[in-house]
């Protein structure tokens, strides 16, 4: 329908963006009816998303003509930004930015480097940046899930953790079950992506390759490569994050520093 109304690609894109935004706002309103208030977060995320992606798109037009080594700086900047966003999801968790930076950098960075060296990612900026960003974004999501879940688990089990400490246990051992749970939960999306590949989900990378004339079999195999890379970088990120995070909630004298956040009267009212 839209294609008949708009002849220019830019106008068509804007119209599609408006419809997608309206849909997101409708979901937000539905949530509001259920007393789940996502208004501010949704609007900020939508505005931020469109501004960021348009700006990056404009910059990429220039950057993608540059030499391959410039992609290292681009990817490094993406890792720092991802760490910042991910740590914002874990307010109250000590050293969350450092943990996120090491986890995402170590997880996504090492997979990008290894797969570029092995030849699975072309060492050109047009390959490195889009595939790298995909790996970093997934690593960021996994990192946020580990940290968020870990914080909730620790907050819910303060009594048991301090009982372990009071019995002379190593602080890291007292939170080991919650690290394990957080790690497992964080990898569910990556594992489900692998399991559902081709059945439930035909991702954009494969669609793009088909549209650009690649062989369907090669496009399918490369999509598997991409999803496997996502799983590896997410898994590695989750592992690094879980290793670093378990010590971050204790003081040098092995005292639990993370305390449950107070529940406000408004929050209780809303959930009721």
Partner 1 sequence: MDDVTVEVRVGEVLAVVGPSGAGKSSFLRLLNRLDEPTSGTVRLDGIDYRQILPRELRRRVGMVTQIAYLFPGTIADNLRFGPAQQGIEVPAKAIEELLIQVGLAGRAAEDVAHLSGGEAQRVSLARALATVPVVLLLDEPTSALDAEAKDDVEKLILSVVRKNGLTCAIVSHDLAQAARVADRVMVLRKGRIEKIGPTSEVINAEGAFH
Under the binding rule (CB under 8 A), the answer on residue 170 touching partner 1 is yes
Q: Which of 169, 214, 220, 225 binds partner 1 (CB under 8 A)?
A: 169
Residue 145, CA distances (Å) to 32, 53, 138, 234, 245 in order: 24, 23, 11, 11, 12
CA 71 and chain centroid, separation: 20
Q: Give me the least distance between CB of 165 and partner 1, in Å please.
A: 6
Q: Which one of residues 1, 62, 211, 253 is an interface residue with partner 1 (CB under 8 A)?
A: 253
Q: Is position 159 an interface residue for partner 1 (rule: CB under 8 A)?
A: yes
192 binds partner 1 per the rule CB under 8 A: no
Q: What binding mask, one character per residue, do residues 198-237 give for partner 1 by CB under 8 A, x or -? A: ----------------------------------------
- Regarding 255 and contact with partner 1 (CB under 8 A), the answer is yes
According to the binding rule CB under 8 A, does residue 156 interact with partner 1? no
Give the range of 1-9, 92-100, 127-135, 167-175 binding partner 1 by CB under 8 A: 167-175
Site string for partner 1, 42-61 (x = CB under 8 A): --------------------
Candidate residues 168, 211, 217, 269; the one interacting with partner 1 per rule CB under 8 A = 168
- Out of 1, 5, 10, 166, point to the residue binding partner 1 (CB under 8 A): 166
262 touches partner 1 by CB under 8 A: no
Nearer to partner 1 among residue 52 and residue 257 (C-beta): 257
Minimum gap (Å) between residue 161 Cβ and partner 1: 9
Triad 76, 234, 65: Cα angle to 5° = 35
Residue 162 touches partner 1, criterion: CB under 8 A? yes
Q: Which residues contact 71 (CB under 8 A, 6 or more apart)?
A: 125, 128, 129, 132
164 contributes a contact to partner 1 by CB under 8 A: yes
**Per rule CB under 8 A, count of chain residues that contact partner 1:** 17
Q: Can you spell out the DSSP letters for the chain? A: -HHHH--SHHHHHHHHHHHHHHHHHHHHHHHHHTT---HHHHHHHHHHHHHHHHHHHHHHHHHTTS-TTHHHHHHHHHHHHHHHHHHHTTTTSTTHHHHHHHHHHHHHHHHHHHHHHHTSS-SSHHHHHHHHHHHHHHHHHHHHHHHHHHHHHHHHTHHHHHHHHHTT--HHHHTHHHHHHHHHHHTHHHHHHHHHBTTTB--HHHHHHHHTT--HHHHHHHHHHHHHHHHHHHHHHHHHHHHHHHHHTB-TT--B---PPPPPHHHHHHH-
| Binding flags for partner 1, 100-139, as an x/- string (CB under 8 A) | ----------------------------------------
Which residues are at the interface with partner 1 (CB under 8 A)? Answer: 159-160, 162-170, 173, 251, 253-256
């Amino acid at each position: 329908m839209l294609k008949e109304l708009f002849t220019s690609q830019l106008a068509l894109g804007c119209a599609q963006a408006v419809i997608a935004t309206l849909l997101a706002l409708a979901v937000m309103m539905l949530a509001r009816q259920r007393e789940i208030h996502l208004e501010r977060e949704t609007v900020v995320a939508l505005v931020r998303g469109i501004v960021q992606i348009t700006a990056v798109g404009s910059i990429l037009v220039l950057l993608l003509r540059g030499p391959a080594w410039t992609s290292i700086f681009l990817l490094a900047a993406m890792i720092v930004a991802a760490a910042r966003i991910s740590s914002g999801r874990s307010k109250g968790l000590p050293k969350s930015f450092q943990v996120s930076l090491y986890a995402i950098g170590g997880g996504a960075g090492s997979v990008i480097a290894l797969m570029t060296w092995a030849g699975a990612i072309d060492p050109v900026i047009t390959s490195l940046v889009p595939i790298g960003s995909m790996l970093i974004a997934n690593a960021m999501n996994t990192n946020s899930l580990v940290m968020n879940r870990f914080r909730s688990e620790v907050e819910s089990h303060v009594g048991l953790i301090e009982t372990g400490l009071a019995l002379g246990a190593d602080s890291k051992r007292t939170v080991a079950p919650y690290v394990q749970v957080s790690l497992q939960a964080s990898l569910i999306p990556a594992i489900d992506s692998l399991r559902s590949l081709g059945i439930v989900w035909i991702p954009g990378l494969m669609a793009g390759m088909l549209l650009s004339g690649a062989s369907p079999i090669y496009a399918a195999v490369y999509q598997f490569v991409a999803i496997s890379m996502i799983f590896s970088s997410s898994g590695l990120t989750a592992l690094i994050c879980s290793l670093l995070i378990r010590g971050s909630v204790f003081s040098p004298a092995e005292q639990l520093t993370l305390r449950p956040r107070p529940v406000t009267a408004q929050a209780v009212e809303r959930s009721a």
